[in-house]
Structure 1
Amino acid sequence: MHPVQVFELIFTMLLAILALHWVALRLKLPPAVALLIGGGAMAFIPGLPVFELDPELVLVLFLPPLLMDGAFFTAHAEFRRHIAGVLSLAIGAVIFTTLIVGVVTHWLMPNLPWAACFALGAIVSPPDAVSARAVLQTVKLPRRLSTLLEGESLLNDATGLVLFRFAVAAVLTGTFSAGAAAGQFFVLALGGVAVGAVMGGLWMFLLRRLGHDYLTIAASILLCWAAYISAEAVHVSGVIATVTAGLLFGWFQHTVFSASIRMRAGAFWQVMVFIFEAFIFILIGLSLRGVLDRVGGIDVVLAQMAVPVLIIVLAMTVARFVWIFGSDAVLSLLRSLGGKRAQPLGAPAATVLGWAGMRGVVTLAVALTLPDAVPGRDFMLVTAFAVILVTVLLQGTTLGALIRMLGLKEDEVPHARLSASQAEEAMIVAQKNVVEKLAYDGDGNLVHPQLLERYTRRAAVAAIYTGNESAHTDRINAHFDVILAAVAAGRRELMRLHRAGDIDDEALHALERDLDIQEIGALENRV
């Protein structure tokens, strides 16, 4: 394909992303569902070439920034509090699902070597970070459940990739050592943590010294690839390295970034992640035609593979439920024996956790890396694609309804010692104390009376509001509605002055930025 045609195809895909995302919003569907269906439909447009994903390129291009985004915004306190549950899902559930899928596959296809069966289990076992993010953004969950799902999606790819590598090696060499595999897993994991910590530390050192907003933003974007590529270069887990670097970056960005950098970088990063996520589901859909062509068409799939594939999908789904409900039963038992730290989820939350196992691009990319010499490669590729379709289209579209049916809601009482309003009061008091000191000159004369009055007033209002939020909701909203009306009036006058030629573009942009900040603040502070 000519380079110009490649660009035109990418441009068409971007237009399709915008249209499909808009349709998903209108139909109240997870955007991932619309993008996956739309990509699959585009794959069969006459004249469009057969699209084949390069699995190595997909992993190194898309996975690092999306893992970094998840790690960057991880709530560290919640993550540490539920680390045991996260590891149970990211390691225990992945290994258990791999074993169950391997056993069921060998039962269905006795001629397929055990190692190949477990390779398929490793391919389909880890839920995907991108798919989880895409669906979780559309639903509201209790904080513990969100933490478990987000933490699992950050780490489970590493487990699945390691299991896959050992299973493929066993297929090709005919040998396997469980002890060696376990030892290698810990080496890869600890090595990934070490590389991620080193790269994160180096990047923090670099960002503090660049001294330029755009350079800092550009360098911060590159951290995810730097951590991933560096880790893979020394043969440790790039996934864990990226997550570690992202956790460090998210923890220290509050002191590394200035206010202007944080606002600009946040906007740029969110748009980039939006495009990357959307591209992944479009690309998965586009690859459907190539998968079908490889195995002989849809007729071959339906006639020879449909039943065993559906059984494997069912086994994979059931295995996740068995692990989650079994783990919850153990927690209930420990609780009944006096273990105060054991906090079972309960049946409703465990049901949602079991159903939220969407697979995505990692499953397909890993399947595409299977060597041609692996027995059953085409069947594994079809199964991987079917797993993605079923989990995203079925689980993704019904997860919200399941949450509503089971009555799960966001936590009303946060686990933090202070509420947001209490923290805001403490922040305002600290600001008032500084203003009180700086409002007077060296001779004790008051030189900033208006500032002192403003911050004293803010502290008094915060003291009244804190602890009585619900009683003041209507008054607060009315207050910010007035501010929004004033901003709108100011914006109209500013545009009138500019259109009349009374002010130049430089003044327009400067004053418009001030109005934008006022409007954003008012919108975000409405209850």
Structure 2
Amino acid sequence: MHTLLPFFLAMIAIIVLLNMWATKLRIAYPILLVVGGLAISFIPGLPVVKIDPDLIFFIFLPPLLFEAAWSISFKEMKKWWRIIGSFAFLVVFFTALTVALFTNYFIPGFTIALGFLLGGIVSPPDAVSTGAIMKFVKIPKSTSAILEGESLLNDASSLIIFRFALVAVGTGQFIWQEATLSFLWMVIGGAGIGLLIAWFFVQAHKRLPTDAPSDIALTLIEPYLMYWIAEQVHSSGVMAVVCGGLYMSSKRLVFLNSASRIQGYGVWESFVFILNGIVFLIIGLELPEIVAGIRSEGIPLGTAIGYGVLVTGILIAARIISSYAALIATLIFRPSVAPKATSNKSRFLMPLLLGWTGMRGVVSLAAALAIPVTLSNGEPFPHRNLILFITFVVILLTLLVQGLTLPIFIKRMKFFDELILDESEESTRLQMKQGLKKHVYEVLKDKYENKYQGNLIIERLLKQWEERAKATDDSWMNDETKQIFVEILESQREYLAELNQDPKINEEIIRQQLYQIDLEEERLKII
């Protein structure tokens, strides 16, 4: 333990440094983390990183899925549910089937069951990688919503395929009737369990005298409990976490106060960032041991790399074909919900873009590492090291090839120049703030103008909001005024720092006031 702790602390420090470097280079940080982990793995004397396959899902997946469910817009998911559902379920199954057929034909000793197992592992695109890359390009809200919704649900569908394939490999048989019933129970039962537990926690947050730390602590427990209970009754823990997370996200204004929301956002952002960083580093750190494993099985490294490149090509082709099939089906059966465009060219390019966003990452690695070392009869799991190696090659190639070229592809092809984009964010923001100012003024006028007539403070407040409501822009808070406010806040910090030198002053009060000043400055930034 004493030897591993410095190593894990160093890993976190490396994750932070690589993320800062990636931001400076304007590339997605998962790319640098994978390459960095691979480079670090060649340093002699490092401890071997091994995670119990039975714990890999339980450690990483619940919080990552829960945070993703809180981040996504449920309104946008409902709007684009048809295409999201087709990508999350139909496309995943088609991709897994394609991988199974090709690997069964090209890889000696690879059965259909092993092919489906590999297909279930590598079929879901990674939300973290896609989100990190999309930070550097501007895309329509509809495209972003489709990608986010797909990445949230396809984890559940791919891991269900993974579980059935794992059973088929272990038992050597697959009964469709039992599989269908089991599939329905995993989906429906998992969703029901997640919603039930989520409802229970919402009531607990509302009725118990919780504060921000206890609220945040409960949110850290919730995804693990949803996942664990669902798995105990042989349902889908992934579906439980996703559905429970979506429900709690929709109720966040009801059971969490402002302090819990503000502080919880920072805690969860850091927690998920560290988890993602560790997983992507592990991808690189695991490679030397995986290479040693395939060599021990007598598989040449060049041959294994060829298999990885083949599977990567199959994944890219299957996703692009599926994207065009989804567009054609939408235009034929439901043309009213098809993405709108000003030309046939831009509409034709949309599936190509969606097909090129299939970077793999966290879920694929977690599933591959979760493959047991031995079967129930004690025999080694067939081709486990080869599956791990192919998964690594797929993750590396999709991150490097698609991840590095996607922003260039969007910018140089001027892909979205002809698309009908969503309403300008700036005009929407101005419209919203103008409405808020008018609303506040009307409320103050209706409730307090007659009641507090002659009260100088209320009259001054009414006058102030009347002037804001009449303003058609942010002229009441221009850059010069904002700068003055920032300088005043900084002078208040200096005064509090000097006041804190007095031993009679409670430092906690000083810190609370400093926090209020920080919040005020953050508010000024978005005015």
The two structures have a TM-score, normalised by structure 1, of 0.89
Partners of 2:28 and 2:129 within 8 A in 1 = no
Report the counterpart of residue 392 of structure 2 in structure 1.
385
Report the counterpart of residue 26 of structure 2 in structure 1.
28
Report the counterpart of residue 100 of structure 2 in structure 1.
102
Report the AA paired with residue 397 of structure 2.
V
1:269-321: per-residue Cα shift (whole Å, max 9, x none)?
Answer: 22212212212211222212221222228995533322222112101111010
Distance 1:58 1:401, change over 3 A: same
Task: Report the Cα distance in structure 1 between the residues aligned to 2:440 and 2:5, rounded to whole angstroms.
Answer: 52
Report the counterpart of residue 243 of structure 1 in structure 2.
242
Which deviates more, 103-112 or 157-166?
103-112
Task: Report the Cα distance in structure 2 between the residues aligned to 1:297 and 1:245, rounded to whole angstroms.
Answer: 44
Report the AA paired with residue 196 of structure 1.
G
Shift of 1:353: 1.2
Report the counterpart of residue 37 of structure 1 in structure 2.
35
Task: Report the Cα distance in structure 2 between the residues aligned to 1:403 and 1:56, rounded to whole angstroms.
Answer: 40
Task: Report the Cα distance in structure 1 between the residues aligned to 2:366 and 2:322, rounded to whole angstroms.
Answer: 26
Task: Report the Cα distance in structure 1 between the residues aligned to 2:247 and 2:120, rounded to whole angstroms.
Answer: 29
Provide the alpha-carbon RMSD of the alignment.
2.9
Report the AA paired with residue 433 of structure 2.
E
Report the AA paired with residue 362 of structure 2.
V
Partners of 1:101 and 1:312 within 8 A in 2 = yes
Which of 115, 118, 142 is the matching residue for 2:116? Answer: 118
Report the AA paired with residue 350 of structure 1.
P
Distance 1:76 1:15, change over 3 A: same
Which deviates more, 174-183 or 263-272?
174-183
1:208-241: per-residue Cα shift (whole Å, max 9, x none)?
Answer: 1222312222112211111111111111111111
Which deviates more, 389-398 or 193-202?
389-398
Distance 1:514 1:170, change over 3 A: closer
Distance 1:171 1:265, change over 3 A: closer
Report the AA paired with residue 422 of structure 2.
V
Which of 457, 469, 473 is the matching residue for 1:450? Answer: 457
Task: Report the Cα distance in structure 1 between the residues aligned to 2:112 and 2:88, rounded to whole angstroms.
Answer: 23
Shift of 1:506: 4.4
Report the AA paired with residue 353 of structure 2.
V
Task: Report the Cα distance in structure 1 between the residues aligned to 2:400 and 2:52, rounded to whole angstroms.
Answer: 24
Which deviates more, 103-112 or 4-13?
103-112
1:391-429: per-residue Cα shift (whole Å, max 9, x none)?
Answer: 12222222222222233559853499x934333344334
Shift of 1:25: 1.9
Partners of 1:313 and 1:387 within 8 A in 2 = yes
Which of 336, 339, 351 is the matching residue for 1:340? Answer: 336
Shift of 1:456: 4.6
Report the counterpart of residue 11 of structure 2 in structure 1.
13
Report the counterpart of residue 355 of structure 2 in structure 1.
354
Report the AA paired with residue 340 of structure 1.
S
Partners of 1:334 and 1:342 within 8 A in 2 = no
Which of 516, 519, 523 is the matching residue for 1:517? Answer: 519
Distance 1:294 1:515, change over 3 A: same
Report the counterpart of residue 254 of structure 2 in structure 1.
255
1:463-503: per-residue Cα shift (whole Å, max 9, x none)?
Answer: 532xxx5xx68974444333223323433444455569897
Which deviates more, 369-378 or 139-148?
369-378
Partners of 1:210 and 1:216 within 8 A in 2 = no
Which deviates more, 475-484 or 280-289?
475-484
Partners of 1:66 and 1:130 within 8 A in 2 = no
Report the AA paired with residue 379 of structure 1.
L
Report the counterpart of residue 50 of structure 2 in structure 1.
52
Give the unaligned 5+ runs of structure 2: 342-346, 375-379
Task: Report the Cα distance in structure 1 between the residues aligned to 2:128 and 2:53, rounded to whole angstroms.
Answer: 16
Partners of 1:35 and 1:281 within 8 A in 2 = yes
Partners of 1:358 and 1:388 within 8 A in 2 = yes
Distance 1:230 1:23, change over 3 A: same
Distance 1:90 1:250, change over 3 A: same
1:410-461: per-residue Cα shift (whole Å, max 9, x none)?
Answer: 9853499x934333344334433443355368xx443653344335533542
Distance 1:518 1:147, change over 3 A: same
SS at the partner of 1:120? helix
Task: Report the Cα distance in structure 2 between the residues aligned to 1:518 and 1:353, rounded to whole angstroms.
Answer: 40
1:316-345: per-residue Cα shift (whole Å, max 9, x none)?
Answer: 11101000012112223346xxx4234467
Report the counterpart of residue 219 of structure 1 in structure 2.
218
Task: Report the Cα distance in structure 1 between the residues aligned to 2:462 and 2:294, rounded to whole angstroms.
Answer: 70
Which of 126, 147, 150 is the matching residue for 2:148? Answer: 150
Report the AA paired with residue 337 of structure 2.
R
1:2-25: per-residue Cα shift (whole Å, max 9, x none)?
Answer: x11121111111111122122212
Partners of 2:96 and 2:119 within 8 A in 1 = yes
Partners of 1:71 and 1:246 within 8 A in 2 = yes
Task: Report the Cα distance in structure 1 between the residues aligned to 2:49 and 2:37, rounded to whole angstroms.
Answer: 11
Report the counterpart of residue 406 of structure 1 in structure 2.
413
Give the unaligned 5+ runs of structure 1: none
Shift of 1:47: 0.8
2:301 paired with 1:302: yes
Report the AA paired with residue 251 of structure 1.
S
Report the counterpart of residue 488 of structure 1 in structure 2.
490
Which deviates more, 400-409 or 217-226?
400-409
Which deviates more, 483-492 or 242-251?
483-492
Partners of 1:200 and 1:248 within 8 A in 2 = yes
Shift of 1:138: 4.3
SS at the partner of 1:32? helix
SS at the partner of 1:90? helix
Task: Report the Cα distance in structure 1 between the residues aligned to 2:206 and 2:111, rounded to whole angstroms.
Answer: 54
